[in-house]
Structure 1
């Protein structure tokens, strides 16, 4: 087994349909699609260019959930390390929250102790998605005029977008990451161009 993968074997002893429900909810919200990679069936999200490619593989046998997660389109990278540290951190935290919610008690009759229907908690971090999109657009627009502010806004947009990729607003969040990346490039090019122009003129 590749050592670059984040691997967990979690003893849940939960009903298989409950585990399938939470796993499918997580995969759908995060935009994962099933694909074949190097001869094994895995779940993949991200193109590896504008947004970091994330991979997930899991199985649930005899009450034990086996998880393998990694990032990187061309080579497997663990969910730690300096390169891409922020998206790795958010991805790892989302998986740890998923494991926590998989342990929530599920009464057999679907009712809690007061006789009310049990509401299953599911992971969702959709709050930053829309603000990230707005900041990404502003980062591009302002980056053409004031590069330093464009860099700041684009950086915040990328950070918030990465966090919201683990949510039901995955599509908006991913767009925010792309816009933030474009805004960052435009702002930096404008900044460097301004420095070169000043040097040539003065």
Structure 2
């Protein structure tokens, strides 16, 4: 697996942030699916649009955002995973990176808003390694 990974500190209830992320990515046309035992957001599936993936997880006081796309052996034949850096897949990579950056901003803004409202605490959410997502899914 070769994925682009971003880690963002978090000190507010992850469920609130997950709801915002879910609504944003579904609004972008992503589907919330099971991919090889992981719950991820997937966009693209066909001959012309290769599948891209974003996975968001929260453990302890950290959010992790992973992004990747499938490697095209031939048009419509996808194998392996490639990260979102470098030249390969540059036409598809831009929109996925933009979505990852927006997800990162959702997390950062939620923390800033909580800090401004005095709700910013250093509570540990380490006791909640699994966070329920809308649609009865689970993220790790």
Tell me, yes or no, whether TM beats 0.5.
Answer: yes
Q: TM-score range by the shorter chain?
A: 0.5 to 0.7
Unaligned 5+ runs, structure 1: 111-202
Residues 26 and 32, structure 2, Cα contact 8 Å, conserved in 1:
no
Structure 1 ranges of 4+ moved more than 3 A:
107-110
Identify the structure with the greater helix proportion: 1
Quick one: structure 1 residues 71 and 8, their matched pair in 2 at CA, closer, same or farther if it must change by over 3 Å? Answer: same
Deviation readout 1:61-96 (Å, 9 max, x if unpaired): 223111211011422111022232032022113212
In the alignment, the residues of structure 2 paired with residue 24 and residue 56 of structure 1 have an alpha-carbon distance, to the nearest angstrom, of 11
Question: What TM-score do you get using the length of structure 2 for normalisation?
Answer: 0.64
Identify the structure with the greater strand proportion: 2
Q: Choose between structure 1 and 2 for higher RCO, CA contacts under 8 A separated by at least 6 residues.
A: 2
Indicate the RMSD between aligned Cα atoms, in angstroms.
2.3
Question: What TM-score do you get using the length of structure 1 for normalisation?
Answer: 0.47
In the alignment, the residues of structure 2 paired with residue 27 and residue 88 of structure 1 have an alpha-carbon distance, to the nearest angstrom, of 16
In the alignment, the residues of structure 1 paired with residue 87 and residue 69 of structure 2 have an alpha-carbon distance, to the nearest angstrom, of 13
What aligned pairs does 1:146-157 form with structure 2 within 5 A after superposition?
none
1:106 matched to 2:113: yes
Which has the greater radius of gyration?
1
What aligned pairs does 1:39-58 form with structure 2 within 5 A after superposition?
39-58=37-56
In the alignment, the residues of structure 1 paired with residue 18 and residue 30 of structure 2 have an alpha-carbon distance, to the nearest angstrom, of 15
